[in-house]
Amino acid sequence: MFLFQNISGMDWLVWGLVVIALMVLNEAARANKWIGLILFVGLPVVLTLFVWPTTAGPGSSTGTWFHWVKVYSALAGCLGFMALRFIPKLQHNKWALIFSPAILAFNIMEAVIRDFQVSHLHGLVDGVIMNGSAWNIMNGIAGIINIITISGWFGIITSHDKQKDMIWPDQIWPWIIAYDVWNFAYVYNCVGDHSFYAGAALLISCTLAAFLVKKGSWLQARAQTLAFWMMFTMSYPAFVTDSQFSVQSTHSSAALMTISGLALAINVAVLILHIYRVMKYKRNILTDEVYAGTKAYDQVVVENTPEGK
């Protein structure tokens, strides 16, 4: 294949099982706050003390600063979103609402920094094959644009149902697709041999959860599936590198350039849409919902507020 080396039928089956497992875990975390606390506090404490010092130590494929920061920032996001979901006074505090876009932007910027760093790396680094070049710079720029186009910060709400999901109406599908392509390109650029699962399967799991199960909940689903994946891969890094189910990247310069170019092009398109709506409807990019009035935005509001219902 263009992106990956040989992918067997069993590999595709396991890929599908990973997607399903992440979606099921996401649904478990949505169920109530007690299950969420067990999954995002109790389990990480046990893994931090007894598992990760051995499995994610120096020299392992998950032993870099990035992986350690990523797992804890994903967990911080999950807990912060739980606070917004289950502490009523925070739901009406504009400063508390800033946490969600801030943690999202922080996670994107982590990856942008890593992409820029990898642009100068070649060969085997920390157990991962690197083929750095201009594509890393291109994708880093795409990530910066993705941060710039985050909108509707203060329009985040909590769904009026038993799950009390964190809903972000202004985070509509063009931005989500732009993020997905950028993030896949990042994983493919920087940890290519992990990207069949850590890129494609992980992104598909949260996007399906947000598009098919609970519209408007993409960021919550993204944080939760990312946290589950990071906890798993730091505990069992060989799954994506040395197991019988691992799928290696081709490390093709053409593939790397194509994916990063696509990510940059899509994010530029979303930036143009973003600027167009800001200018046409005179939206304040810091306080207004840029996509209010679109079908995607209105549907999420209708489905998650008493007024809409």
**pLDDT tens for each residue of 129-147:** 889 899 999 999 999 999 9
Residue 309's pLDDT is 45
User: Tens digits of per-residue pLDDT, 256-297?
Assistant: 999 999 999 999 999 999 999 999 999 998 889 999 999 999
- Burial annotation 241-279 (CB, 10 A radius, 16+ → b, else e): beeebbbbbeeeeebbebbbbbbbebbeebbebbeebee
Please provide the size of the chain in residues. 309
- Does the residue 309 lie in any domain? no
pLDDT mean across residues, the chain: 93
- Cβ burial of 117 (10 Å; 0-12, 13-18, 19+) is middle
- Angle, CA 224 vertex, CA 234 and CA 76 arms, to 5°: 80
pLDDT of residue 233: 92
Q: Give 38-82 as a DSSP string.
A: IIIIIHHHHHHHHTHHHHTSTTSTT-SHHHHHHHHHHHHHHHHHH
In sequence order, what are the beta bridge partners of 249? Answer: 4
Average pLDDT over residues 151-157: 93
User: Is 1 inside a domain boundary?
Assistant: no
Stated pTM of the model: 0.93
CB of 40 within 8 A of CB of 227?
A: yes
Residue 207 lies in a domain: yes
Does some domain include residue 71? yes
Give the lowest-confidence range in 122-136, 156-170, 210-224, 277-291: 122-136
Report yes or no: 235 and 49 within 8 Å, Cβ to Cβ: no
Strands 122-125 and 166-167: unpaired
- Whether 100 is covered by a domain: the verdict is yes
Question: What is the C-alpha to C-alpha distance for residues 309 and 303, in angstroms, rounded to an integer?
Answer: 6
Domain membership flag for residue 121: yes
pLDDT at 60: 77
Specify the number of domains making up the chain: 1
Name every residue whose Cβ is closer than 8 Å to that of residue 45 and which is 6 or more positions away in sequence: none
Cα–Cα distance measured from residue 137 to residue 90, given in angstroms and rounded to the nearest whole number: 38
Does residue 200 belong to any structural domain of this protein?
Answer: yes
Is 4 within a domain?
A: no
Residue 258: domain span: 9-304
Q: Helix H segments across 212-252?
A: 218-235, 238-241
307: pLDDT strictly greater than 70: no
6 by DSSP, 3-state: which? coil
Task: Give residue 306's pLDDT band: very low, low, confident or very high (50, 70, 90).
Answer: confident
